[in-house]
Structure 1
Amino acid sequence: MGDSVASPLIWAITIVVTVGVLMVDLLIIGRRPHEPSMKEVSVQLGLYVGLAIIFGVCLWVFAEPHALSPNPGPEFFAGWLTEYSLSIDNLFIFIIIMAKFAVPREYQQTALMIGIVLALIMRAIFIVVGAAAINNFSWVFYIFGLFLVWTAWKLAKEGAEGGDDEYEENKLVQLAERHLPATKEWHGTHLFAKENGKRLITPMFLVILTLGTTDLLFALDSIPAIYGLTKDPYIVFTANIFALMGLRQLYFLIGGLLQRLIYLSYGLAFLLGFIGVKLILHAMHENELPFINGGEHIEWAPDIPIWLSLVVIIGTLAVTAVASLLASRKMSEEEIEARTGSLQAPGTGNDSH
């Protein structure tokens, strides 16, 4: 792990602590499935956000600058805020998935927690692959940058068209529904159940499969985005951990407020577009492709400093939130639904289709 601000020991401690926290969380939720109170999720979310801030400050003060991470602290905060903002957008899909499968409110915590564990595993794989690609092929920044610009255009287009409130199941989930013996009855949080001596998958199995495959698609956007802010795999990993660890609490806490973030797609589109351009400029600065500038570095292409990235990220999120809330106050519920889709906040939906 020489290409990181963290030593092998720090990596090991981070992984052990992360696994420990996840296991404790899973055991507590598994023993007592319930719909959490606002106080419960507020305290937990405050704890995770506080820990993320403390972690970032420690990196800022104590971490030594490195070739892959000249500014560890600011890079962490920029990456964490970007991942968190993308996670908030993902909550739209999570709410639709919960409504589609009519997940009882007391089981939603378990479904989300298992989905988060799967997301961390998949993102860890993407982080390793991304780090290897970056270390060996500088031109990969062209691909990451163009992909983010394309994603930004798609998000902006969806925002202009009023959002997409229809969730289409992916092929893997459709195959599971068609070909695996299943029961429509809920058996607590169990993924499998026996009925008449036959082993069947439960609705919870399909929910977890849907959340897991959806998280995989989300990682395709988020990992290139954060590699546009830092090249250090340790910072990429920890920023993802802190963003995902608070996602379950945010799901229950944010409630109806999520519907009122009517300009979220535009804000995220601008952010992803900005990071995409940053990556392309960096790729030009480090250029080695023979058909671009004869394989020579393009010296006039500036590297956007991390402090400017951090200012743009914070400013964009603040403007998006304030503009959304001010505009939504003047709209009727029907107008808000037309923009964001008809989403039911966690804890307000019915328990049946």
Structure 2
Amino acid sequence: MRALLKPAAAPGLDLADVPTPQPGEGQVLIKVLRTGICGTDLHIEGWDDWAARSIRTPLVLGHEFVGEVAELGPGVREVKKGDLVSGEGHIVCGNCRNCMAGKRHLCIRTIGLGVHTDGAFAEYVLLPEANVWVHRHEVDPDVAAIFDPFGNAVHTALTFPVLGEDVLITGAGPIGIMAAAVARHAGARHVVITDVSPYRLELARKIGVTVAADVSNTTIERVQRDLGMSEGFDIGLEMSGKPQAMQEMIANMRHGGRIAVLGLPAEEIAVDMATVVTRMLTIKGIYGREMYETWYAMSVLLQGGLDISPLITHRFGYAQHAEAFAAARSGHCGKVVIDWTRATLHSAS
């Protein structure tokens, strides 16, 4: 089968022929239809310090995907051939304390699809049945391909109740914008998102945020005043990983405010603990998706009319992978999707 492979410990990827995996006990072989490019994939493709420490080559990349079930291994009971499926890319041990308690997203032995084991940037991918999410209702394949990052957004946005609340989101990357769409759909009063990218801020406006603020020329405090807010934001969603964003979020929360943090910082962040303590703020880290409560929520939100398709701005065939990765790296994009049923697409948007 054709696969997008990291052949050696160096920058770049190869489109190569590799053996098609065969399903073993409890495993499902999936014919891949679409994949989404994640920031993790960019790290691996560029071979930065994190990738050099974390990745063993050769490796097939990719963990955001949708596909059709092709073959079933012995013992598979619920998944059927022909099912349209996405996959939970965190493969857990099932035996640690958290797994045994039903908190699989906190497994201490998590294996990452496309990071620690061959992934979905290929014509076929293999997953345990427990990691296969069957789409029981009609869904656009492009949207189904980005259920993984959509799940990050849903997990973060719904960690704390947002109905009637004022929500601040720092970081208008694709996950931040999807989180804004979720908060708005779930009944938030004001949804404010900040960034310094005019492209990303305009994309956020298209999904209906109250304010998309360019913090290179305005302040969050000024946005509060313009909206008539007197005490600060109720809920904060930190999606950027930038120290200044976290610091400004803490400074603009109301007393008793709650912050969910998804953004991974590349450097240490100095936190004003005096403000956290005296305002009795709650700060919670978010990683991945709750298995499988978040997945249920994702499907229900889409059934309820939430539309995240505007976030998919670029589409490429699998032979155009270099162009796809360049688009994703440029920042002038939302989600970038690769079509594994066609080598090239005439339109890349």
Q: Normalization by structure 2: what TM-score?
A: 0.24
Higher normalized contact order (CA 8 Å, seq sep 6+, divided by chain length): 1
Q: Normalization by structure 1: what TM-score?
A: 0.23
The structure in which a higher percent of residues are strand is 2
The structure in which a higher percent of residues are helix is 1
